[in-house]
Structure 1
Amino acid sequence: MSDVEFTAPSDTQRRDYTTLVIRCFGHPVPDMAMSARHAVTRVAVRDGRVIAGGLGWAVPQFFGGRPVPAACLGVGCVAPEERGTRLAAELMSARLDAVRAINTAAVATIWTTSNRYARHLGWQAPTEVTAHQVATDDLRASYTSGNGYDIVHATPVTAAATQAQHRLAAAWNGPVCRPGWWWEWKHTHLDLISYQFHRHDSTPHGLLSLAFDQHSQRGSVAVVHEFWAADTSAAHAMLAFLGSHHSRCDTVVFRRGVLPHHRLLLHGLHRYRVDLTCAPPWMLRLLDPVAAVSQRGWPHNHELDVVLALPDHPHQQGDRYRLEVAGGTAVLTPTEDPAHLCLDARQMAIWYAGGYRSVTTARFDGLHTDDPPLLAAVLAITADHEPWLPDLF
């Protein structure tokens, strides 16, 4: 592909890239201009013509309660007539290199429909992603209104709310540690209506952001874009508040990924009549396993000393590494000792994000060992936080 140049675009090439996005996606990406101001852009150019392009953001993501420098990739496209020539892989590498020049990202995340292709390149989806649709009347009948909370209209989102979201995001593996511009990008563009839920103090216990959409068959629909709850009580109050919109809309839609895996609807609705829609998942890749391990948070009450075979990882100094976890920190160092367990790049991504919830699920994904208790200990060391990425990019 020596005749293709991967480069930061000129003004003309940026306009050509925007036009290519519309041709590839079938529609404009409305917030692209705003998001691109905070991203690195790379385009593939042949004979002066833009044939591929994409964005990358140098923003941290939470893993184990700590922000890890990350490269978040989005709005990638290849001209249909140019597909099948590894342009997507080369473009991905160009964006990763550009982001890593800014923040030395140890991990990378992408939302993509090309899941098989991404897996081939070492990416993997730590968890499924779904959207939920529920009747407003079912929410109203199932959750107690108020629940002792003060509900405050907070549009635009207040500093107290962003601080609360930051704290709640750290309880999961994957959420973006949002910079200030992220809120303006998403909330201003989508014209979201936001509410804070307080109880006995000024600290928000819940943040709910929604918009209203007109559907040809269902009429007005409430679309939830942010659902951050400190506990079950706050979550129930937020669901009851959504149920209070029954006179205006018949349906509440929780857009893809907005609800974490906490079974609130399954365990709370009087009748579980929820329409679930599977969505393309987010996929994770460890760009530098040694740095990713050292920068991640680890449980303080667990210790582990195990040798891992890492046969296909980038930035390696061999294929065997000793993982030592103690006192809330961990290191990954090269070793010549025999390996207890082998993790390929895709399995390492799932494990790192806490996606293996049991020995059984790990075995179904190809993790094998003659020492089941050891495998259980390796899985438990990252399973204290579950994978969830509610941020779309």
Structure 2
Amino acid sequence: MFRVLRHEGRPAGCAAVWDMPQWFGGRPVPSRAVAVVTVETAARGAGLGGALMGAVLREAHTAGCALSVLYGATLPLYARLGYARAGSAVTYGAAPAVLARGPTDGLRRLDPLDADLLAALRQREARTGNGLAERGEAQWTLLLKPGDEQAADVYVADGPDGPEGYVAVRPPAERRLTVVDVCVHGHRAAQRALGFLAGYRAQVDRVTWPGGPEDPLVHLAADTGVAIDGWEEWLARVVDVERALAARGYPAGVEGTLVLDVADPLLPHNHGHFLLKVANGCGQVETLHDEEQADVVLPVAALAPLYTGHLGAAALARMGLLQGSEAGIAMAAKLFAGPRPWLAERF
């Protein structure tokens, strides 16, 4: 969907928006992705970009979204609107020989339009990580068969109890193999994926793939030599504090309460004190109206990296982005602990 901003009776800016739930703490959180934010050159400097994005955020709140996520070409505009760096997107690269020393069992070819099996495997990974998107049919189609481009070749690693992973690759070009998506569960599936990619050594000099901070192909590669070929941070903004805190999951075995004093000059419903009670991996949230003493005080922009796990409470406190008692900071660190957040998608 596109949103168009009109100025003096004519289109002056636009943004693409779509719903893209993201997984945090083992649960999907309603999130709205934003891309292609553009303001007409002649109209720049008049505050139209901020007006457009403000309208996008208010619409996202009305639609029931808890978060907004985007890749920003420039940080200052989005920082003024309450966005902050909240996760990463990494492209790894290596020579094929680095990945595996010998052949492994083959993988089964799969129709790239048969996304149900792939989605089930990806969701297993999303449940144990932070930040991964819940892809709909359109997202799977765009990833595996975009426009007029040749469809990706998809291969599945089968195990004794069913599929354990998959690898989707573009046909080799210019001595390079591009993995558009990969997901493996367990040592056996990872080794089979590595062996499959290493098998291209006669055709390519380099293999690249998207992955997270704890990528299994990196850590199980047969030799040193895997490098980061590309790294980018995505930005997130909490659109609805109460909804966001209640929607995500929390670490198993951790219980506690935390009063957050959040400052949000753009979205008044986010401004104030929120009581978070966590038990059995779930959070209950209450908006407080009596201004109870807060355990932590922070702007809405600092809440985004705390929420996603991109930055811990202690790190935010060291930067002066979060204030609180020693006990409050420690509790925030416990409640929001988890894997570093990442996205496989770039948009």
Note whether the superposition's TM-score is higher than 0.5: yes
Alpha-carbon separation, structure 1, partners of 2:212 and 2:257 = 31
Alpha-carbon separation, structure 2, partners of 1:206 and 1:358 = 34
1:296 to 1:270, Cα distance in 2 relative to 1, 3 A: closer
Instruction: Tell me: higher relative CO, structure 1 or 2? Use CA pairs within 8 A at least 6 residues apart.
Output: 2
Paired position in structure 1 for 2:36: 75
Match of 2:166, as an amino acid? L
Paired position in structure 2 for 1:391: 345
1:183 to 1:127, Cα distance in 2 relative to 1, 3 A: closer
Paired position in structure 2 for 1:211: 170
| SS in structure 2 at match of 1:118 | helix
Q: Are 2:285 and 1:332 aligned?
A: yes
How far the C-alpha of 1:197 sits from its partner, in A, is 0.9
Q: Are 2:275 and 1:322 aligned?
A: yes
Alpha-carbon separation, structure 1, partners of 2:214 and 2:298 = 28
How far the C-alpha of 1:361 sits from its partner, in A, is 6.5
Alpha-carbon separation, structure 2, partners of 1:64 and 1:47 = 46
Task: Work out which of the residue numbers 106, 109, 117 in structure 2 matches 1:160.
Answer: 117
| SS in structure 2 at match of 1:356 | coil
Paired position in structure 2 for 1:288: 240
Match of 2:30, as an amino acid? P
Alpha-carbon separation, structure 2, partners of 1:382 and 1:211 = 37
TM-score normalised over the length of structure 2 = 0.88
Asked if 1 retains the 8 angstrom alpha-carbon contact of 2:100 and 2:221, the reply is no
How far the C-alpha of 1:73 sits from its partner, in A, is 0.7
1:213 to 1:87, Cα distance in 2 relative to 1, 3 A: farther
How far the C-alpha of 1:282 sits from its partner, in A, is 1.2
1:287 to 1:364, Cα distance in 2 relative to 1, 3 A: same
Paired position in structure 1 for 2:201: 246
| SS in structure 1 at match of 2:306 | helix
1:286-365 aligned within 5 A: 286-312=238-264, 314-316=267-269, 319-335=272-288, 336-357=291-312, 359-360=314-315, 363-364=318-319
Alpha-carbon separation, structure 2, partners of 1:346 and 1:53 = 23
* CA displacement, residues 121-147 of structure 1 (integer Å, 9 cap, x when unaligned): 111112343322211122233xx542x
Task: Work out which of the residue numbers 135, 151, 155 in structure 1 matches 2:95.
Answer: 135
Q: Are 2:78 and 1:118 aligned?
A: yes
How far the C-alpha of 1:342 sits from its partner, in A, is 1.2
Alpha-carbon separation, structure 2, partners of 1:323 and 1:100 = 20
Alpha-carbon separation, structure 2, partners of 1:61 and 1:67 = 5
Alpha-carbon separation, structure 2, partners of 1:91 and 1:129 = 26
TM-score normalised over the length of structure 1 = 0.78
Alpha-carbon separation, structure 2, partners of 1:228 and 1:337 = 45
Match of 1:224, as an amino acid? V
Q: Are 2:90 and 1:151 aligned?
A: no
Match of 1:205, as an amino acid? E
How far the C-alpha of 1:246 sits from its partner, in A, is 0.5
* CA displacement, residues 316-358 of structure 1 (integer Å, 9 cap, x when unaligned): 3752222211122212323322112112212210111112357
Alpha-carbon separation, structure 2, partners of 1:281 and 1:130 = 9
Q: CA-atom RMSD, angstroms?
A: 2.5
Q: Are 2:185 and 1:225 aligned?
A: no
Alpha-carbon separation, structure 2, partners of 1:365 and 1:206 = 42
Match of 1:303, as an amino acid? E
Paired position in structure 1 for 2:67: 107
* CA displacement, residues 140-169 of structure 1 (integer Å, 9 cap, x when unaligned): 33xx542xx551111325322221212222
How far the C-alpha of 1:81 sits from its partner, in A, is 3.1
Alpha-carbon separation, structure 1, partners of 2:342 and 2:194 = 20
How far the C-alpha of 1:388 sits from its partner, in A, is 1.2
Match of 2:118, as an amino acid? A
The alignment of Structure 1 onto Structure 2 pairs a total of residues equal to 340
Deviates more, 1:353-362 or 1:156-165: 353-362
Structure 1: 5+ residue runs without aligned partners?
1-39
Alpha-carbon separation, structure 1, partners of 2:321 and 2:346 = 30
Asked if 2 retains the 8 angstrom alpha-carbon contact of 1:99 and 1:105, the reply is yes
Paired position in structure 2 for 1:91: 52
1:303 to 1:274, Cα distance in 2 relative to 1, 3 A: same
Alpha-carbon separation, structure 2, partners of 1:250 and 1:134 = 8
| SS in structure 1 at match of 2:78 | helix
How far the C-alpha of 1:114 sits from its partner, in A, is 1.2
Match of 2:240, as an amino acid? D
Task: Work out which of the residue numbers 193, 203, 214 in structure 2 matches 1:262.
Answer: 214
1:360 to 1:341, Cα distance in 2 relative to 1, 3 A: same
* CA displacement, residues 78-136 of structure 1 (integer Å, 9 cap, x when unaligned): 223332222222222333444555x4111111112212321221111123433222111
Alpha-carbon separation, structure 2, partners of 1:340 and 1:323 = 11
How far the C-alpha of 1:386 sits from its partner, in A, is 2.9
| SS in structure 2 at match of 1:126 | strand
Deviates more, 1:357-366 or 1:91-100: 357-366
Alpha-carbon separation, structure 2, partners of 1:360 and 1:99 = 29
How far the C-alpha of 1:269 sits from its partner, in A, is 4.2
Paired position in structure 2 for 1:272: 224
How far the C-alpha of 1:263 sits from its partner, in A, is 5.0
Percent identity reads 24
1:206 to 1:59, Cα distance in 2 relative to 1, 3 A: same
Alpha-carbon separation, structure 2, partners of 1:59 and 1:318 = 25
